[in-house]
Amino acid sequence: MTITYIKHTAYLLINLAIFLFSACSEDDNYAPGTAIPASCEQVYFSKENAASLMLPIEGSRSVTLIVARTKTSSALSMPINILSKDDKLTIPSTIEFTAGSPTTKLEITLSSDAEAGTEYIFELELTGDNIDPYTKLDGSAKFFGSVMIEKWNTLQATFSFEDLYSPWEGEIENLEGSNKYQIKDFLKSGKTVEFTIDKSTGAISFSGGYNDGTYWQFLENDNFIPCYPTGSDIYITSTYIYLGASYSYLNLNKKSGRIYHWNNYSDNSSNWNALNISWK
């Protein structure tokens, strides 16, 4: 390798470095982000907000989102940018914080002619000098969500005890799109029983009442709920339902099941029995 070759190579490398430096200097359009004002109150949609908001069939047609901030000394009027929404939804364009309050509520209203089981979608954004995109907060400046009126699908079922009382007709309802079920007027008590069904075993898990893992008591305000399955003077004063797939279950494929329980009666008698359930 000659000295001339080495000098030539070094010359090329120096020129290449100068060229690259110049190119970077000329093409570099970097600019720092917009400075956050010292007065920025760091407003955001709380991460505690559920994205899917469910309304009961009867009752209020409004849902609420929580909007929070980190600086709370003064009152604040905050604009809401509605990026998109279904026509059935009414969403305010501003929200108000009172002085000293770290949160406020954004109320979204669904029109009275909205259909049960239909998802109504919206997307919102908080903008302006009180938004801080650089600081990690307990939420976000954007929110995408939906509102739906719950829809219950009804099964017409036959209920009967194994060794007493005549069968009667009733309803089992399933909340569409969920594993939530209910039996209205359970055992002719006038009360609704809610439960879920284990997908693999069919075992029923009841809501409310008292559950110790072995049995479930049919209670309201810590009192047993009387049941009148016969329509006669003798009625059930207390009901203990035994849990587990071998006792209380519903087989959705076979369209049948049972609820096994111990009953105490108003004539001071008691017995084990199974409430058999079937539907077409």
Which domains can be identified in the chain, with CATH numbers?
44-149 (2.60.40.1510), 152-279 (no CATH)
**In terms of pLDDT, which residue wins out, 76 or 221?**
76
Instruction: Give the tens place of pLDDT for each residue, 220-278.
Output: 988 999 998 876 678 889 899 999 999 999 999 999 999 999 989 899 999 888 899 99
Q: Is the pLDDT of residue 29 over 90?
A: no
- pTM for this structure? 0.66
Confirm if 163 and 273 have CB atoms less than 8 A apart: yes
Note the pLDDT of residue 161: 81
Determine the Cα–Cα distance for residues 123 and 109; give it in Å rounded to an integer.
14
pLDDT tier, 209 (very low <50, low <70, confident <90, very high otherwise): confident
pLDDT at residue 36 tops 80: yes
CA distance 257 to 250: 4
Q: Could you say which DSSP state residue 94 is in? A: E
Instruction: Compute the average pLDDT of residues 53-75.
Output: 94
Closest CA to 232 of 183, 182, 267: 267
